[in-house]
């Protein structure tokens, strides 16, 4: 394989050594989210309990992620943690999460672990979230980040040092929300706490974020197709310019 296609946020030059291929950076985010007209209309209302959470699969929710989320819960005594994914239908998985959080002095009463559900119910349950927390370290959210944003939920992301930990950074940048990208664990906590305190902003987001996202590069499939067409043409032109790859007539 000659090329690996990404963008400057997903794979900046400092990650070039991670690849055997040449990175081809598109001038926009590397993917497009298909807007879903059938998704329920956001119906979130602020409450005295602040719900933080993630609907990512359990494999992404590492001990390091839970430790950082516990720091946020300690900084926000009114907050509780909501996790939802199909793996939490298993009692052993639920106990593992509760035991890990208990080592950081987070009581089980502050945690709600929900199994997976039908798509419409899964989307509607985003109304319970005040802020979505992207997992840290090796693998962050992709589709789950987009789904949360589509439901008007702000997503807090810690930009990592490898591609798998930078997906959400590319998505957030594409909708103009760089302020939700943290560059250190301390900043991740600080930004989450500040956003939690800004109820007015979060109310506004529920009413405006879907429309803004629909008109952003993240939902511009045609723009992505054009960017890829230009990339493929440029790659081919480069191939033609290489003497060893010249086209021979038969």
Place of tokens 């939902």: 219
pLDDT score at 242: 81
Largest CA distance in the chain: 75
User: Per-domain residue ranges for the chain?
Assistant: 50-215
Give me the chain's average pLDDT, please. 94
What distance in Å separates the CA atoms of residue 126 and residue 132, rounded to the nearest whole number? Answer: 9
pLDDT score at 247: 54
What distance in Å separates the CA atoms of residue 175 and residue 235, rounded to the nearest whole number? Answer: 28
Q: Does the domain at residues 50-215 carry the CATH identifier 3.40.50.2000?
A: yes
In which element (H, E) is residue 222 found? helix 221-241
Enter the pTM of the model.
0.93
Among candidate residues 89, 76, 81, the one with its CA nearest the CA of residue 65: 81
Place of tokens 């003497």: 243
C-alpha distances out from residue 105 to 40, 53, 69, 110, 133, Å: 36, 18, 12, 11, 19
pLDDT score at 138: 77
Summarised one tens digit per residue, pLDDT across range 84-128 is 999 999 999 999 999 999 999 999 999 999 999 999 999 999 999
The list of the chain residues with pLDDT below 70 reads 245-250
- Output the CA torsion sign for 19, 22, 25, 31: negative
């Amino acid at each position: 394989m000659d090329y690996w296609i990404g963008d400057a946020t997903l794979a900046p030059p400092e990650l070039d050594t991670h690849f055997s291929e040449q990175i081809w950076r598109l001038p926009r985010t590397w993917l497009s989210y298909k807007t879903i007209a059938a998704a329920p209309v956001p119906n979130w209302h602020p409450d005295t309990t602040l719900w933080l959470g993630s609907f990512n699969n359990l494999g992404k929710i590492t001990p390091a992620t839970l430790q950082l989320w516990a720091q946020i819960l300690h900084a926000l005594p009114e907050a509780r943690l909501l996790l939802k994914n199909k793996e939490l239908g298993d009692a052993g998985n639920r106990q593992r999460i509760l035991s890990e959080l208990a080592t950081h002095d987070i009581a089980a009463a502050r945690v709600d672990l929900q199994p997976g559900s039908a798509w419409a119910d899964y989307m509607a349950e985003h109304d319970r979230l005040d802020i979505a927390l992207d997992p840290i370290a090796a693998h962050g959210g992709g589709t789950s980040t987009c789904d949360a944003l589509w439901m008007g939920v702000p997503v807090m992301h810690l930009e990592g040092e490898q591609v798998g930990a930078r997906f959400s950074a590319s998505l957030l940048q594409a909708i103009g929300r760089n302020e939700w990208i943290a560059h250190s664990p301390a900043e991740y906590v600080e930004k989450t706490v500040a956003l939690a305190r800004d109820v007015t902003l979060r109310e506004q987001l529920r009413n405006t974020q879907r429309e803004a996202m629909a008109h952003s590069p993240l939902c511009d499939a045609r723009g992505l197709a054009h960017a890829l067409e230009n990339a493929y043409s440029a790659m081919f032109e480069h191939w033609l310019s290489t003497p060893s790859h010249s086209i021979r007539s038969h």
